[in-house]
A and B are shown apart, each in its own frame.
Chain A
Amino acid sequence: MSTMFALLKIEGKLVWKGIDILIFGICFPIILAVLFGYLLSKEASSGSSNFELSYAAVITIGVLATGVMGLPLTIADYRHRGILKRFQVTPVSPLQLLFAQGLIQLSSALVSFVGVTLVYYLFFDYRLAGSWFMFLSVYAFVIVAMYSIGIFIGSVVPDQKAANMWSSVAYFTMLLFSGATIPYEVMPRFVQLIMDILPLSHGIHLLKMVTTGEAMAGMAVPMLILGICTVISLVGAFKFFKWK
């Protein structure tokens, strides 16, 4: 049994046994998808309907839960238990452990994505207007950005308490004020200005453009903001990572 396979098996068991990921990462977005299917208007007065726009938002909830909540909490827990320190004296790099953990969290996000997509497609006749390739590429980019924020939080927090606090702040702020649950379009203008600060707002904005098949011209700025956020987070994580 290869080391990575063993790590994936064990990390998968640990993550999938947890009820948190099931509730926040999978059930919550699927339930929200069903609610949006019934509640949001499918009439498109100009461009896309509110229901069509909501797809781009709901598929980010699983990414947010796993990347910004699950990943930093696990890193902080492993550090607290001395597991990262223990790995430093084995032939396996602690980075391999974190990579395996990231892949397993990602698998949960993808289950959430598939579940939400099936609800939209099978129960509410949703159809993606843009290119699937473009959509999946942008979705992958948003995942990388959100996971880099989670890795940054997990890397710099001194203990589990701080990890809990900062990941909760990041998770709930972006959940409520990025358009993931409450549509950006219904917010007052001054709240929209605040929402524009949050990285996920730009991710959802990008996803809305590619799911509705809008022109590519408006993508440059959100892409640049997410790219900068990713680079800063990963460089910061690499520079300030605490093994113990």
Chain B
Amino acid sequence: MKKAIECINLVKKFGDYCAVDHMNLSFEKGQISALLGPNGAGKTTTISMILGLITPTSGEVKVLGVPSGTKELRQRVGALMQDVKAADGLTVKEVLQLFRSYYRNPMSLERLLDISGLHADQKRRASSLSGGQRRRLAFAQSLAGNPELLLLDEPTVGMDIEARGRFWDTIQALANDGRTVLLTTHHLEEADAVADHIAVIASGQVVAEGTPERLKAQTTLRTVSFRAANAPAQQEWLTLPGVEKVECNGERIRLYAQETDELLFTLMQSEWGISDIDIQSASLEDTFLTLTGTHKSTTIR
């Protein structure tokens, strides 16, 4: 599969502060990819370099096979930025028509209105829209050029649940059309549900990447929770096979372990009166916290 975005040994320094630190990252064409990381991890700096808005201190960024930031590339790439407002006095339709006029092969106005769900509001002034509606309009603006690659920085901020649902459906439909989507988001469960590929960054470095399933499987502990009628002392739980952490809440015990088969066998063989067992896989949020909290010791390549 061809690469849509390639960051090769990318570095960006602001004075002494290194926002992006020798980052090697790539995203495949036709996939939905997510860039996750805590605040200050370097997500927006990375996206800005991919868009050609800022120049790397060193390293290289290739977008759709060519160096980032060229005028020709801007015909093929759509971007949804944070904190962008429309000019006062323009209607929704005028904003979209204006953006369509910038591109050689624009998406139809009808489709943009469908995607944004702003058909009924096309004659309203953009400045009078609610926060979520403005975000949907900004999303439609990013699609005005019918882009091959779509970069979305925190796309669902301000959207209500219904709008977010429609937004993710649209993203899925755009990917099914063969477009590449790269997004940053704080809604980890949404990235988990929609992304084919996730890269987790912290302190300007890639700390893990892969499919959501692979990330979760490789980096986090499963939990086994149960009731124990004759529970031993808390330290004794830590001697059980694979157990790395224990939480006790009255009779309810929660054990965290990489592998649970042997642990379950041991528990069932014990005389602690185990009942009401519940086993849970890690969520992407657990993975995220594990990776970004202690990334230096849990880096996965």
Interface of A toward B, CB cutoff 8 Å: 1-3, 5-7, 10, 13-14, 17, 78, 81-83, 85-86, 88-92
Contacts and interface: CB of A to CB of B under 8 A. Distances in A.
Nearest to A86: B84
Given A3-B102, A81-B87, A90 B145 contact: yes
A19 to B, nearest CB: 12
A78 B53 contact: no
Nearest to A243: B53
B101 interface: yes
B290 to A, nearest CB: 34
Contact of B74 (A2, A14, A85, A91): A91
A78 B102 CA distance: 18
A231 to B, nearest CB: 28
Nearest to A90: B102
Contacts of B71: 91
Could you say which of A2, A5, A89 has the most chain B C-beta atoms within 10 Å of its C-beta? A89
A8 to B, nearest CB: 11
Given A1-B97, A2-B101, A89-B74, 13 more contacts: A6-B98, A7-B98, A10-B94, A13-B89, A14-B87, A78-B87, A83-B87, A89-B77, A89-B79, A90-B99, A90-B145, A91-B71, A92-B102
B75 interface: yes
Nearest to B72: A91
B238 to A, nearest CB: 52
Contacts of A81: 84-87
A91 B98 CA distance: 12
A62 B260 CA distance: 79
A92 B71 CA distance: 8
Contact of B81 (A14, A78, A85, A92): A85
Contact of A6 (B77, B87, B97): B97
A106 B87 CA distance: 20
A82 B74 contact: no
Contacts of A7: 98, 101
A232 B230 CA distance: 85
Nearest to A78: B87
Contacts of A13: 89-90, 94
B83 interface: yes
Interface residues of B, number: 25
A6 B98 CA distance: 6
A88 B53 contact: yes
B51 interface: yes
A85 B98 contact: no
B16 interface: no
Nearest to B90: A10
B84 A83 contact: yes
Nearest to B101: A6
A83 B85 contact: yes
Contact of B89 (A17, A85, A88, A91): A17
> Which of B71, B98, B103 lies at the interface centre, i.e. has the most chain A CB atoms within 10 A of its CB?
B98
A90 B90 CA distance: 19
Q: Which 9 A-B pairs have the closest CB atoms?
A: A6-B101, A82-B84, A81-B85, A89-B79, A92-B102, A91-B74, A86-B84, A90-B102, A91-B75
Contacts of A92: 102
7 contacts: A6-B97, A7-B101, A10-B98, A88-B51, A89-B77, A89-B79, A90-B74
B88 interface: yes
A14 B145 contact: no
A35 to B, nearest CB: 32
Given A10-B94, A85-B81, A91 B87 contact: no
Interface string B84-124: 11111110001001110111000000000000000000000
A89 B80 CA distance: 9
Nearest to A7: B98
Contact of B101 (A3, A17, A85): A3
A81 B101 CA distance: 21
Contacts of A10: 87, 90, 94, 98
A6 B84 CA distance: 20
A10 B99 CA distance: 11
